[in-house]
Amino acid sequence: MANDGLVRHVERWADRGAALLSHSRELLAQIKACNALYKVHFPVRLADGSLRVFEGYRAQHSQHRIPTKGGVRFSPSVDQAEIAGLAALMTYKCALMDLPFAGAKGGVRFDPRQATPELRERVTRRYVVELDKRGFIGPGLDVLAPDMGTGPQEMAWIADTYMALHPGNLEVFGCVTGKPIGLHGLPGRLEATGRGVWVGLEEALAFEEDVAPLGLEPGLRGKSIAVQGFGNVGFHAARFLAEAGARVVAASDSGGAVHNPDGLDVVALRAHKRDHGSVAGFPGSTTLPCRDAVLEVDCDVLVPCAAEGAISEENAGRVRAKVVAEGANGPLTPKGEEILLERGLFIIPGVFLNAGGVTVSYFEWLKNIHHVSFERLTKRREAMSKRLLVEAIEDLAQKTFASELREHLLRGPEEIDFVNEALAQTMSTAYLEIRDAWKRYGCRDLRTAAYALALDKVAENYLTMGIFP
């Protein structure tokens, strides 16, 4: 999909949602417009002493809430249209999750896989300097995060550079999320998007009246799953789904795709990919003809976790799943989606299902600006309360719990426990709201309901501010 296609597709989905609302045309136009977009060219000195000019972007789609929030991607395909479209998705995603952010997105056009660590560091740090000049980064302005081609290391460089530019700022680490744990990061952030896919899918498949027309029983147990894109999101989604009782029968990455109708060992598959560079050739599986063949595997649920536009009018007719759960941003084009809906497939939109990452990023940002871990003020107290309760039960029963069970019952909550429970609660609440809107508006698909709900929430912010009558 051409990058400008993403912008058009997001606008089209937003228009579908807006058609269900009674807000003024002017207000809806303001919500859908990209509020600010910064394009910059900056030089970086290479190891041989020469200079190379890089092209970078940062879009703040909406400023109905401050700060804005969104990832930074390093990719040779990055351009203005792609960044603007992804920033818009972030606005609607944050609104659905009831997060105190508006949407943003940024990126630099280059291939980090072909760059040395030294070059990646220089590009990252110079990009931060350029953003800081124009107010496109800051704990209360615009909070960055990982995205395609970036990870905890880049986020650490971003935090360190911003700290050097703003000495004495107590909230400096809140300028970026997805940082390493040792640099005020948050446990659970790395796997948050994949965990959110699992939680959201479990919620969506829980209603018998929604899944019965598909010939499915409620719940995840026994469901066959195909995962397109066995990267960070795809692996963690597959792992959590398998642990919940689903059967991961196929997976793909940039190097190929594998299939086993009896199920793949997800952890072993990841180890194979780490050792061989791809999932292709995984023992006990059939290597499919091409990586995109995973989209056509016979399964209950297809989870596309790779790039945008993976399912279009060209291949939608060959998708054999009953449910498509979007783990990536915009893996379906509108025409591809239309074909799937006409065929009766159930689509869980990425604007909801992909929101686990930004949700846990919110928790990390909270931790950074409040300067305290979530469990520090409560862990010891809760452990003491549990001990008193366990000892009271043992006295009444005249029997002692088994040592392993007793240790588990007495354990105070760790920070990761707060993170995972809060993520599950946020995803669950959001899905129930989307489903309620789906039924209330009487629209045929969840995506239209989700966009209508998100637009309505943003509109209420503008109306509360008194900007629009």
| C-alpha to C-alpha distance for 467 and 469, rounded to whole angstroms | 7
Question: 347 with 340: CB under 8 angstroms?
Answer: yes
Has 367 been annotated as catalytic?
A: no
23: which residues sit within 8 A by CB, 6+ positions away? 455, 456, 459
Q: Pairing state of beta strands 323-325 and 301-304?
A: parallel
Whose CA is closest to 68, among 157, 177, 212, 151? 177
SS3 content of the chain, % helix, strand, coil (to 5): 50, 15, 35
User: Would you tell me how many other CB atoms lie within 10 Å of the CB of residue 441?
Assistant: 16
The values of phi and psi at residue 90, to 5°, are: -65, -35
Whole-angstrom Cα distance, residue 87 to residue 59? 6
Q: Which of 32, 69, 93, 105 is catalytic?
A: 105
CA distances from residue 107 to 28, 39, 75, 178, 365 in whole angstroms, order as listed: 27, 10, 8, 16, 20
Compute the C-alpha angle 360/362/368, nearest 5°. Answer: 110
- Secondary structure class of 301 (helix, strand, coil): strand
Buried b (16+ CB within 10 A) or exposed e, 136-147: bbbbebbbbbbb
User: Residue 106's closest CA among 52, 139, 68?
Assistant: 68
CA distance 237 to 196: 8
For the sheet containing 346-348, what is the strand order?
Answer: 286-287, 256-259, 247-253, 224-228, 301-304, 323-325, 346-348
**How many Cα atoms occupy the beta-carbon half-sphere of 416 within 13 Å?**
8
The DSSP line for 208-253 is: HHHHGGGT--SSSTT-EEEEE--SHHHHHHHHHHHHTT-EEEEEEE
List active site positions: 105
